[in-house]
Amino acid sequence: MPAPPEPPENEPPVVTPTRVVIGLCLLIPFVAMLWVGSYARLEPTFIGLPFFYWYQMLWVPVSAVLTMIAYRLVKRENAKRRAARGGDA
């Protein structure tokens, strides 16, 4: 049976540019959808759909892409941190 993983060292949280980008990628869709006044209108229409509807539908793939970017940045940052600590799994 493998040994249990070591508990993480008590490192103070550090704000890095990568973490700021991660936070923005996750925050932007929330702000865009919660600020209803910015898209509560009918014009411009797109293929017969009022702006209110197609704007919300547009944010589905945009949110997925931003979440994927944030996920990959977190993975990359964790790998760098693990390598800096000595390469433990």
Give the tens place of pLDDT for each residue, 41-78: 899 989 999 999 999 999 999 999 999 999 999 999 99
| pLDDT of amino acid 7 | 55
Token look-up 């600020």 returns 35
Token representation of residue 20 = 């700021």
Among 69, 71, 82, smallest CA distance to 11 is for 82
Give the span between the Cα atoms of 39 and 70, in whole angstroms. Answer: 25
Is this structure's pTM higher than 0.75?
Answer: yes
| pLDDT of amino acid 4 | 60
